[in-house]
Amino acid sequence: MSQEKNVFRDAANEAISDMAQHLPLDCELLVVACCPVKKEFDLVLPSPESNLNNALDALRRNGLSIDGDNAYKRDLLDAVVGALAFGAQNTTPPPAGHWGQRFWDIGREERGTCEELAVALSVAVERWALLASEFKHTTTEYERELAEISKARDAIAKATR
């Protein structure tokens, strides 16, 4: 830690005690210093009774938005997308009681719906192929039907990978 950061930390620690004495009993105090161009200077000093979730809520009430770009939001959304993907693959379920379970379940349910649809569509395509064989006497129509059947089979294969 740089000398400059140490000096600030010491001063902030002394000030926290003085400031806390003037707060109502149910208030929490948190001192944050951040330097966007010099991240090693970032400093978060919570008072012993403070809760970082409450501090985040206060920042939201004062304009912090999910629309802004920040590493925390990117990491959170990466975790949600990962849980959705793992659920769709039916792999790596989250630990019991984990908040990501909801997203894993959504991924699993969506994949299940897709698989049901693919099975039903496969049956329909096979019946279509049988009916299309009746068009053999009209080569143009038969070729057109075979092309459409091939597209449907490709879509089923893509959906069930």
Q: How confident is the model at residue 1 (pLDDT cuts 50, 70, 90)?
A: low
Q: How confident is the model at residue 94 (pLDDT cuts 50, 70, 90)?
A: very high
Q: Which residue has the higher pLDDT, 7 or 103?
A: 103
**Do 73 and 66 touch, CB atoms closer than 8 A?**
yes
**pLDDT value of residue 137:** 66
| Ranges of each domain in the chain | 3-64, 100-159
**Stretch 125-150: mean pLDDT, rounded?**
79
The amino acid occupying position 50 is S
Q: Can you tell me which residue has the tokens 């949600």?
A: 80
**pLDDT value of residue 108:** 96
Most confidently predicted of 27-36, 58-67, 79-88? 79-88
Average model confidence (pLDDT) for the chain?
87
Instruction: Decide if pLDDT at 45 tops 80.
Output: yes
Sign of CA dihedral 119, 121, 127, 130: negative
**pLDDT value of residue 100:** 96
**pLDDT value of residue 138:** 67
Helices 101-132 and 139-159, axial angle in degrees (round to 10): 160
